[in-house]
Amino acid sequence: MGFPKGFLWGGATAANQCEGAWDADGKGPCSADFMTQGDRTHPREITFPERVPGKVYPGDVAIDHYHRYEEDIALFGEMGFKCYRMSIAWSRIFPNGDDAEPCEAGLAHYDAVFDCCRRHGIEPLVTISHYETPMGLAKYGSWNNRQVVDLFLRYCDVIFRRYKGKVRYWLTFNEINSMGMGMMSCYMAGGMDPNSTLQQKATASYHQFIASALAVQLAHQIDPENKVGAMYGGIFSYPATCDPADIMGNYKFMQSCFMYPDVQCRGAYPTSALKEYEREGVVLPVLDGDADILKAGTVDFLTYSYYFSMVAGKDTKFDVATGSPVTGYTNPYLKTTEWGWTIDPMGLRYTLNLFWDRYGLPLMVVENGLGVSEEPGEDGIVHDPYRIDYHREHIKAMRDAIDLDGVEMWGYTTWGCIDIVSAGTGEMRKRYGFIYVDADDSYQGTFARTPKDSFWWYKKVIATNGEDLS
């Protein structure tokens, strides 16, 4: 009973949100390098192709993980992490995306990071593309252009060979469904023009699916030990009422979101998505042989981020033009965070069941956490019982899914295991970590790392393989 032996407990980050060193050692400009800071009410701005003097670009310094990874990974080791989900910055390996040769300094950096993980007994789980696209690819139209599939595959080929034996778990695209969502999302998901049309976003998604399927095959070919997963950005909704019209409205909304894991897990587009595209006049850029590529490149496991649940119904239209995930309903049964995200541990069990029943693939929750603005107390320590409660309830929900429902789970990596930049707002104040980082919203501070109370709690959870949640 309980979590299986070898369960991958750990935490997660993304290069653009923690590394900083945005132009160090040959790194080229990436999508994140043109995103300013926003806040709860003002979205981040995208200033590509310029960087505007005087604006805060949070990824420039972030938490300086690029230079402090040894200290950070040692702290993860101290917590007993079995797994560290991180991403490689593509623009450290191919600074412009289409360079003739990879950048040795970038490759050597991740060698050192993976070696450091191994020294601490930590299995790296590597996201190949996490909201960080070399902006040298913009001249191709980014993912609108099939050539970018080849450039991505070249990047994969280089990292799969270089890190063979050091990395065994890979995720192709972070929250691949972001491509179909709002303007900022398609920019984040693939360096796309934020004003991209539905046709362009559908084309870009199509190319990412092909790229992902080819990457799965390449990874297996280079090292049969490799396991490659999909990563879905956890949008889930409940029907607003039991009115059949609400049930159908919610179902249609979910169908449009599940198109992404459907393609990656089943190897083909669902008919509902094809019909929707047909109605909208979208034509997918299918080449001969593509159907076989998608079929042969299904993933080994499915991962997702889980922060909140939503409500949808008869008035919900998945706005295909803006792709906005706002459904028009709220859930009176759930409390929300400072940033307005519902807190719904049972929803986690629900979604684990849903995906297990739908695909029968092993699952990992690779992002989950509570973003809070918090300060250390007089003793210099952040006391965060709210974070402990949050994770305790979500861990119980996973345990129920495993014990009571028979769901197969490989692991759980909490989001922002150390405080990092918020992807949505660029704020530092939205903190998820078990480790406090002394940096403010202007990215000033000592950058000292201090364990919060939750650090010691999570350490105990891992040491007891999820038995002791007290």
Q: How far is the CB of 334 from ligand BGP (least distance, A)?
A: 18
Site for ligand BGP in 329-388 (CB under 6 A): 367, 371
Q: Is 190 in the site for ligand BGP (CB under 6 A)?
A: no
Question: Residue 341 CB, nearest distance to ligand BGP (Å)?
Answer: 8
Q: Which x/- pattern, by CB under 6 A, does the window 388-417 give for ligand BGP? A: ---------------------------x--
- Confirm if 351 and 234 have CB atoms less than 8 A apart: yes
Contact residues for 409 (Cβ-Cβ < 8 A; gap 6+): 3, 4, 7, 352, 362, 363, 364, 365, 398, 401, 402
Q: Which of residues 304-333 bind ligand BGP (CB under 6 A)?
A: 305
Q: Give the nearer residue to ligand BGP in terms of CB position, either 14 or 183.
A: 14
# of chain residues touching ligand BGP (CB under 6 A): 15
**What amino acid occupies position 335?**
K
In the complex, minimum distance from the CB of residue 164 to ligand BGP, in angstroms, rounded to a whole number: 26
Cα separation, 107 vs 90, whole angstroms: 10
Cα–Cα distance for residue pair 88/92, rounded to 1 Å? 8
When the beta carbons of 174 and 256 are compared against ligand BGP, the nearer one is: 174
Output 246 or 367, the one with its CB closest to ligand BGP. Answer: 367
User: CA-CA-CA-CA torsion for 284, 189, 183, 141, nearest 10 degrees?
Assistant: -60
Among 54-62, 115-123, 424-432, 449-457, which window interacts with ligand BGP (CB under 6 A)?
424-432
Specify the residue, 130 or 399, whose C-beta has the smaller distance to ligand BGP. 130
Number of H helices, E strands in the chain: 13, 12
DSSP state of 28: P
* CA gap 60, 82 in Å, rounded: 29
Closest contact distance (angstroms) between CB of 280 and ligand BGP is 25
From the list 279-287, 329-337, 392-400, 422-430, the region that binds ligand BGP by CB under 6 A is: 422-430
427: annotated active-site residue: no
Say how far residue 109 (Cα) sits from the centre of its chain: 21
User: Pick from 175, 300, 419, 441: which binds ligand BGP (CB under 6 A)?
Assistant: 175
- Judged by DSSP in three states, 81 sits in coil
The alpha-helical segments, DSSP class H, found in 232-344 are: 244-266, 271-280, 290-296
| Residue number, 277 or 307, with CB nearest to ligand BGP | 307
- CA dist 341 to 254, 331, 419, Å? 18, 11, 18
Q: Which of 343, 464, 352 is nearest to 393 (CA)?
A: 343
Of 26-34, 244-252, 423-431, 451-459, which segment contacts ligand BGP by CB under 6 A?
423-431
- DSSP SS3 for 417: coil
Interacting stretch for ligand BGP, rule CB under 6 A, among 71-79, 209-217, 421-429, 461-469? 421-429
Q: Which is nearer to ligand BGP, 233 or 433 (CB)?
A: 233
Q: How far is the CB of 58 from ligand BGP (least distance, A)?
A: 10
- The residue from 424, 433, 451, 466 that contacts ligand BGP (CB under 6 A) is 424
Among 207, 430, 431, 452, binds ligand BGP (CB under 6 A): 430
The three-class DSSP label of residue 317 is coil
Residues 368, 374 contacting (CB under 8 angstroms)? no
- Active-site residue, selected from the candidate residues 175, 276, 374, 427: 175
Q: With CB under 6 A as the contact rule, which of the stretches 315-323, 378-386, 418-426, 449-457 interacts with ligand BGP?
A: 418-426
Site mask for ligand BGP (CB under 6 A), range 14-33, x = bound: x--x----------------
Strands 123-129 and 169-173: parallel
**What are the phi and psi torsion angles at 202 (to 5°)?**
-65, -40
Task: For 238-267, give one letter per residue: b (16+ CB within 10 A) or e.
Answer: bbbeeeeebbebbebbbbbbbbbbbbbbbb
Of 423, 428, 435, 461, the residue at the interface with ligand BGP (CB under 6 A) is 423
Indicate which residue of 276, 367, 374, 427 is catalytic: 367
Using an 8 Å Cβ cutoff, are 269 and 337 in contact?
A: no
Verify whether residue 367 is a known catalytic residue.
yes
Max CA separation in the chain (angstroms):
65
Active site residue ranges = 175, 367
Binding site for ligand BGP (CB under 6 A): 14, 17, 131, 174-175, 233, 305, 367, 371, 415, 422-425, 430
